[in-house]
Structures are given as C-alpha cells and as structure tokens.
Amino acid sequence: MLNTAKTLLCVAALSISGGMAAAETTLEMIKRTGKVTVGTEAAFPPFEFVEDG
C-alpha cells in the first residue's frame, strides 16, 4: 500500500511539473499566432446578433 501511494505521488508530481514547464501564457500565444480569440455569450445582447440571419 505504501509503495502504491509513493508511486501515485511521484506520477502526480511529474505530471504537474511537466505541464508547468511547457505552459504558454496568453500573451505569448497572441504574439506567436498574431490572433486574439474572443468568446461571447449569446444570452446577453447585442452578442446574439447574426448578420443576414
């Protein structure tokens, strides 16, 4: 049981540290792609407006 707990702890620590090393900030992604992606909620006017629709 102790070995299983140690193994799970090591796997969790490695996956967290690996994900943090490869993380890209929003600003870095915008600079790299040259695009800003914006999401809106259709329940709040005027965001539900559809042109020619």
Indicate the residue type of 40: T
Band of the pLDDT at 31, cuts 50, 70, 90?
A: very high
pLDDT, position 2 = 67
The token pair at 8 is: 């799970």
Place of tokens 């259709």: 42
* Higher pLDDT among residues 44 and 22, named by residue: 44
pLDDT, position 10 = 65
- Judge if pTM exceeds 0.95: no
Domain ranges in the chain?
25-53
pLDDT, position 40 = 79
pLDDT, position 30 = 94
* Higher pLDDT among residues 16 and 41, named by residue: 41
- The one-character DSSP state at 34 is S
Distance of CA 23 to the CA centre of its chain: 9
Closest CA to 26 of 41, 15, 37, 11: 37
